Amino acid sequence: MASAAEQLAANISLSNFSKATDLKKRLWFTLGALIVFRLLSFVPLPGINPTSLASLFDQTRGGVLDFFNMFSGGSLERMSLIALGVMPYITASIVVQLATTMSPTLAQLKKEGESGRKKINQYTRYGTVLLCAIQGYFIAVGLETWGGEQSAVINPGTMFRATTVISLVGGTMFLMWLGEQITSRGIGNGISLIIMAGIVAQLPTAIAQALEGGRTGTLSPVVIFGVLALAAGLILFICFMERAQRRVLIQYPKRQSARGQIQQERSHLPLKINTAGVIPPIFASSLLLMPLTIAQFSGNRTAGESAWGDFIITVSTALQHGAPLYMLLYGAGIVFFCFFYTAVVFNPEETAENLKKYGGFIPGIRPGKRTEEYLDYVLTRITVVGSAYLTLICLLPEFLIAKAGIPFYLGGTSLLIVVNVTMDTVTQIQSHLIAHQYGDLIKKAKLKGGRGR
């Protein structure tokens, strides 16, 4: 017989969805917040000439700025108020989480519960402001001399730099606040949804460019069809791997039931193959994008003027999207953050202590230290598989697309983020629907009980 949860999940329909008023409010709020995000991407920075900026950006197509532009939903190309997107916040989160593992003071804060979490979030916000100010200053200075006489800045100077830094800091902080509001009052993870919305907004343009290349003959129809087929295959593979898990059998002591029978309870501890989710590619991208963006704008300003400017140009060229060094660093970053974030999310020592406290044990493994070592061993093995899967998904399409010259919005990183965030959001919607149906069943049971009395 199916369990009550399975029966409720099977009975989810449009009629049940229409009755879930709280879920509808959350969905409308999420949709409204994403619309606000998209509208802000079209609000330009003060003192920018959009026509000159568009022509200058076309000259750098295929570079790292294009990759950054994908994550910001086209905001960087238009130099909008939210041109930096949420990448400074993600980078600050990485730094704070790394510091938490190395600093005893921050580690103690993390163990203090809600109050400690609020303080850590506050440090992350301070770091976000600092990173935004640094990136904003370099972008403002780079824009002033980018293109020489065809500069996109109308009135260069101190006022323009100060205005740009303040506007970019305010835009990123607003996006960070908007993401937190989506998480608490909407559906899904707000920051992930904002990144996904930016990628999805760029997909129609990328597909149109690919089809235009096929029409003009610059791209072979076979290549276009092959990339689309590869994208479809990757989506199916991502769905399969994101649901894959290693179930560790857990047994509990024998207990006597009401009828006098002795029963032994069993359950499973599910360990996902990809425990870290989409965090490793996002973290690795953000760490590569921040210095490369600064280097690219600084290089445009100092190229040919000094040895430092030539060095920056050389580094930027070596780390261009699709270059071997970029791929190597990107893959290494994904593997590192797979293990790092898995260690942050899942604590074998804490899990072993909880099992011991409630009398649970793994068959053949002693409770306590041995259980902790076994869980750590299993988690390490499946994380190796998970990191290899993420690296393959993110790098293989990038190699092929870089060779074929197709816009890399169709690459593995963007597909991974879109599919993963969509699956998580749908799961949360289903959870809300099931909770709503449980509520209806409880209300009906109370009404029937009242009538019986």
Q: What is the pLDDT of residue 387?
A: 92
CATH number for position 219? 1.10.3370.10
Is residue 294 assigned to a domain? yes
Task: Quote the crossing angle between the two packed helices 307-318 and 279-302, to the nearest 10°.
Answer: 150
Q: What is the pLDDT of residue 402?
A: 65
Q: What is the pLDDT of residue 170?
A: 92
Is residue 96 assigned to a domain? yes
Average pLDDT along the chain, 453 residues, taken 10 residues at a time: 44 58 86 92 83 68 60 75 86 83 79 80 90 86 70 81 91 92 88 86 77 76 78 86 87 65 71 85 76 59 54 67 79 90 84 82 84 89 91 79 58 80 86 71 59 53
Total-model pTM: 0.76
Residue 83: domain span: 22-452
Q: What is the pLDDT of residue 167?
A: 92
Q: What is the 3-state secondary structure (H, E, C) of the chain?
A: CCCHHHHHHHCCCHHHHHHCHHHHHHHHHHHHHHHHHHHHCCCECCCECHHHHHHHHHCCCCCHHHHHHHHCCCHHHHCECCCCCCHHHHHHHHHHHHHHHHCHHHHHHHCCCHHHHHHHHHHHHHHHHHHHHHHHHHHHHHHHHCCHHHCCECCCCHHHHHHHHHHHHHHHHHHHHHHHHHHHHCCCCHHHHHHHHHHHHHHHHHHHHHHHHHHHCCCCHHHHHHHHHHHHHHHHHHHHHHHCEEEEEEEEEEEECCCCCEEEEEEEEEEECCCCCCHHHHHHHHHHHHHHHHHHHHHHHHCCCCHHHHHHHHHHHHCCCCCHHHHHHHHHHHHHHHHHHHHHHCCHHHHHHHHHHCCCECCCCCCCHHHHHHHHHHHHHHHHHHHHHHHHHHHHHHHHHHHHCCCHHHCHHHHHHHHHHHHHHHHHHHHHHHHHHHHHHHHHHHHHHHHHC
Q: What is the pLDDT of residue 262?
A: 55
Is residue 11 assigned to a domain? no
Q: What is the pLDDT of residue 47?
A: 82
Is residue 297 assigned to a domain? yes
Is residue 10 assigned to a domain? no
Find residue 255's DSSP bridge partners.
Answer: 263
Q: What is the pLDDT of residue 140?
A: 84
The count of domains in the chain is 1
Is residue 5 assigned to a domain? no
Burial of 115 (0-12, 13-18, 19+ CB in 10 A): exposed
Q: What is the pLDDT of residue 37?
A: 92
Is residue 8 assigned to a domain? no
Is residue 3 assigned to a domain? no
237-246: pLDDT as tens digits: 888 888 888 8
